[in-house]
Amino acid sequence: MNLTELNRIATAMVAPGKGILAADESSGTIKKRFDAIGVESTETNRRDYREMLFRAKEAMSQYISGVILYDETIWQDAADGTPLIKLIEQSGAIPGIKVDEGTQALPMCPGELVTVGLDKLAERLKRYYERGARFAKWRAVIDIGSGTDGRGIPSMTAISVNAHALARYAALCQAALIVPIVEPEVLMDGDHDIDRCYEVTSRVLNKTFQELRVQRVALEGMVLKPNMVVPGKKCPKQASVEEVAEKTIRLLKACVPAAVPGIAFLSGGQSDEEATAHLNAMHKLGPLPCPLPWGLTFSYGRALQAAPQKAWSGRPENVTAAQNAFSHRARMNGLASKGEWQS
Ligand code: 13P
């Protein structure tokens, strides 16, 4: 394993003023997004849409450090025959690939999920590396709720098996010279309050780093992609931007070792502006006892793409407007990653 190279890539992924575009929606998820804008989810439409994003010069060259691709996209060519992955490389951003294969029901744990995709992962990583991918992503999903058998979720079982899989994936990535994005997402669905999110995320991160250590993953060669500490969407008591920022940073300082080069948040269903405001506020927190030990930025899917998707709506004449909408959100989040955004 070449740790210097892994560390160099991980550090570039969280460079100040830049963040990651998560464009790795599975076929099912992109269909849902396209349904919302009245576009049929054909292979050509998916290609045209993503090509439009990757050719958005301002966003890609100034504010996007890396792009997470879905398997279909990494093998696709642009309309002029240029591989889409080359468009990303030419813009100066680093191509990455989602390698998990989604979730399955976790036996004995009603309502809970485990992420799958470890079988043959070593071979797949080798092919992705040859194609140009330099980082990967694996998402574990942890729900908070009352559960169907009255025991409450998440169970320790769900946290533990998902952390184990994340670490197995991360070790395989590093052996293949690919930087793993480790994404244990605690969902913001439900009516739980912000303190419950804090407590569950704390358990999830602690278990994840325990597994990463056990499986000898080099923390210097990875990026963490966590949720922010927020109340459930249906919680009657929503939190202020400052409270989210303060609790998220307190939690991350307690759980994430300083050896990790960077943290890049998911947006998880927050609105565009909320996701930007929260990241910005974290960088503006009063006088801290010490500076943040890791890079802290965005790895947003919906919070970067909702605006361009709406502007595009599948029409070639809207491409420039959609690229401008994407560049605007990327610029706002780039500013937020330095605490320089203003509402
Ligand atoms: P969202 O920002 O839409 O949550 O997507 C990020 C992501 O990659 C989820 O796995």
Question: Which two tokens mark 186?
Answer: 């605690």
Kindly state if the Cβ of 267 falls inside 6 Å of ligand 1. Answer: yes
Pocket test of ligand 1: the residue of 266, 271, 329 to mutate, having most ligand atoms within 8 Å of its CB, is 266
Q: What are phi and psi of 184, to 5 degrees?
A: -95, 100
CA of 333 to the centre of ligand 1 (A): 15
Spell out the residues 6+ positions from residue 188 whose beta carbon is closer than 8 angstroms to its own. 197, 227, 230, 231, 232, 233, 268, 269, 270
* Alpha helix (H) residue ranges in 108-231: 121-131, 156-175, 194-214
Kindly state if the Cβ of 333 falls inside 6 Å of ligand 1. Answer: no
Kindly state if the Cβ of 99 falls inside 6 Å of ligand 1. Answer: no
Low-confidence ranges of the chain (pLDDT < 50): none
What is residue 120's predicted lDDT score, i.e. its pLDDT? 98
CA-proximal residue: ligand 1, atom 10 (nearest): 139
C-alpha span between 34 and 113 (Å, rounded): 26
Kindly state if the Cβ of 266 falls inside 6 Å of ligand 1. Answer: yes
Kindly state if the Cβ of 66 falls inside 6 Å of ligand 1. Answer: no
Q: Is 183 a catalytic residue?
A: yes
**Checking DSSP bridges between strand 103-105 and strand 113-115, what pairing results, if any?**
antiparallel
What is residue 1's predicted lDDT score, i.e. its pLDDT? 76
Angle of helix 272-283 versus helix 302-312 axis, rounded to 10: 150
What is residue 24's predicted lDDT score, i.e. its pLDDT? 98
C-alpha span between 257 and 245 (Å, rounded): 19
CA of 289 to the centre of ligand 1 (A): 31
CA-proximal residue: ligand 1, atom 4 (nearest): 268
C-alpha span between 64 and 227 (Å, rounded): 20
C-alpha span between 142 and 103 (Å, rounded): 11
C-alpha span between 332 and 343 (Å, rounded): 9
CA of 91 to the centre of ligand 1 (A): 22
b/e string for 216-236 if b means 16 or more Cβ within 10 A? Answer: ebbbebbbbbbbbbbbbeebe
**Checking DSSP bridges between strand 135-142 and strand 179-186, what pairing results, if any?**
parallel
Listed residue (69, 8, 22, 20) closest to 221, CA to CA: 8
Spell out the residues 6+ positions from residue 11 whose beta carbon is closer than 8 angstroms to its own. 261, 262, 295
What is residue 291's predicted lDDT score, i.e. its pLDDT? 83
C-alpha span between 74 and 68 (Å, rounded): 9
What is residue 147's predicted lDDT score, i.e. its pLDDT? 75
What is residue 343's predicted lDDT score, i.e. its pLDDT? 84
CA of 288 to the centre of ligand 1 (A): 29
CA of 139 to the centre of ligand 1 (A): 9
What value does the mean pLDDT of the chain take? 96
Instruction: Name the active-site residue from 25, 51, 112, 183.
Output: 183
Yes or no: say if 169 and 180 are a contact pair by the CB < 8 Å rule: yes
> What pLDDT digit, counting tens, does each position of 263-304 carry?
999 999 999 999 999 999 999 996 665 689 999 999 999 999
Interface ipTM: 0.90
CA of 298 to the centre of ligand 1 (A): 10
Kindly state if the Cβ of 268 falls inside 6 Å of ligand 1. Answer: yes
Pocket test of ligand 1: the residue of 13, 302, 305, 329 to mutate, having most ligand atoms within 8 Å of its CB, is 302
H or E segment to which residue 140 belongs: strand 135-142
pTM attached to this predicted model: 0.97
Yes or no: say if 99 and 128 are a contact pair by the CB < 8 Å rule: yes
CA of 302 to the centre of ligand 1 (A): 6
Yes or no: say if 333 and 300 are a contact pair by the CB < 8 Å rule: yes
Dihedral of the alpha carbons of 107, 268, 256, 196, in degrees to the nearest 10: -70
Question: Which two tokens mark 5?
Answer: 């190279």
Q: Which atom of ligand 1 is nearest to the CA of 267?
A: 2
Listed residue (9, 19, 64) closest to 275, CA to CA: 19
Q: Which atom of ligand 1 is nearest to the CA of 275?
A: 2
CA-proximal residue: ligand 1, atom 1 (nearest): 301
What is residue 189's predicted lDDT score, i.e. its pLDDT? 95
Yes or no: say if 83 and 77 are a contact pair by the CB < 8 Å rule: yes
What is residue 148's predicted lDDT score, i.e. its pLDDT? 73
